[in-house]
Amino acid sequence: MTRSERLLAILQTLSGRRRAMTAAALAQRFAVSERSIYRDIAALNLQGARIEGSAGVGYVQREGFFLPPLAFDADEAAALLLGLRFVMRRGDATLVRGAESARAKLAAVLPAAFDDAAGADVPLLVAPPPERTGTLGALRRAISRQQVLRIRYSDRDGHGTERRVWPVALGWFEGAEILAAWCERRGAFRNFRLDRIRDIEPLDERPPRSRRSLLAAYRRLEPGLQF
């Protein structure tokens, strides 16, 4: 393992850990001396990492540090470009701006893989979204804020109903985009097509269960869906 590879591996090891990891434990994991770990931690902090701690106590990585990619092979770059293209075609305005910004940052680090010329060499395209009533951004905000929604919804025959729902997640499928939500009227989870939602009214009311709890329950009912 080269030093660059070890630096990346140290960041990946510390990422998401709540408890500090000692230099001795890191040294044992990477088969180097503790002195090498001290130098590695110092080098990472100079590069912008937010690793806190000290010898004998241990180290933790604070939130807020984004690791710039060191290298991607052709398949990894293609996968990332496909994901960004999907968001730029199918996301709401805020997500589109985020995807464009993320691609610009990746291109600044690895232009050979992520600039416009490289993108033209990746023959993976994303179709435009199905008809949508401009609800995606409002639904994302309601999910984030854990708000109950009042919606007007039309079935496949055009019959409209009013529902109170607890929004859980958004899903993108080949022929439709859907809102997964608990429907108070039905007393069960339901999938609502975004192109059939005619009106959304966020209420100053939170569901009696957390979104995490609702999402876990929904996943148990729909194990094949990756939310």
3-state per-residue secondary structure call for 157-225: CCCEEEEEEEEEEEEECCCCEEEEEEECCCCEEEEEEHHHEEEEEECCCCCCCCHHHHHHHHHHHCCCC
- How does pLDDT run across 70-111, given as a tens digit for each residue? 567 778 888 888 899 899 888 888 999 999 888 887 776 677
Which amino acid would we find at residue 154? S
Average per-residue pLDDT in the chain? 84
Higher pLDDT, 134 or 157: 157
pLDDT, residue 140, reads: 92
So what's the pLDDT on residue 19?
84
Start-end of CATH 1.10.10.10 domains in the chain: 3-61
pLDDT, position 63: 67
Phi, psi of 94 (to 5 degrees): -65, -45
Long-range contacts of 95-99 (CB under 8 A, 24+ apart): 95/140
**Span 31-51, pLDDT tens digits:** 999 999 999 999 888 877 788
Q: CATH: 3.40.50.300, 1.20.1250.20, 1.10.10.10, 2.30.30.90. Which one for 3-61?
A: 1.10.10.10
Q: Is the whole model's pTM more than 0.95, yes or no?
A: no
d(CA 177, CA 193): 6
pLDDT, residue 218, reads 92
DSSP SS3 for 199: strand
Q: Strand, coil or helix: what is 161?
A: strand
pLDDT given at position 108 = 67
Is a pLDDT exceeding 70 seen at residue 12? yes
Q: What mean pLDDT do residues 53-73 have?
A: 69
Q: What is the pLDDT of residue 169?
A: 93
69 vs 76, residue with greater confidence: 76
Q: Residue 39 in contact with residue 77, Cβ under 8 Å?
A: no
225 Cβ partners below 8 Å, 6+ apart? 171, 180, 219
Q: What does the pLDDT read at residue 105?
A: 74
Return the pLDDT at 181.
Answer: 95
Query: What architecture (CATH level 2) is domain 136-221?
Result: Roll (2.30)
Domain with CATH 2.30.30.520 in the chain: 136-221
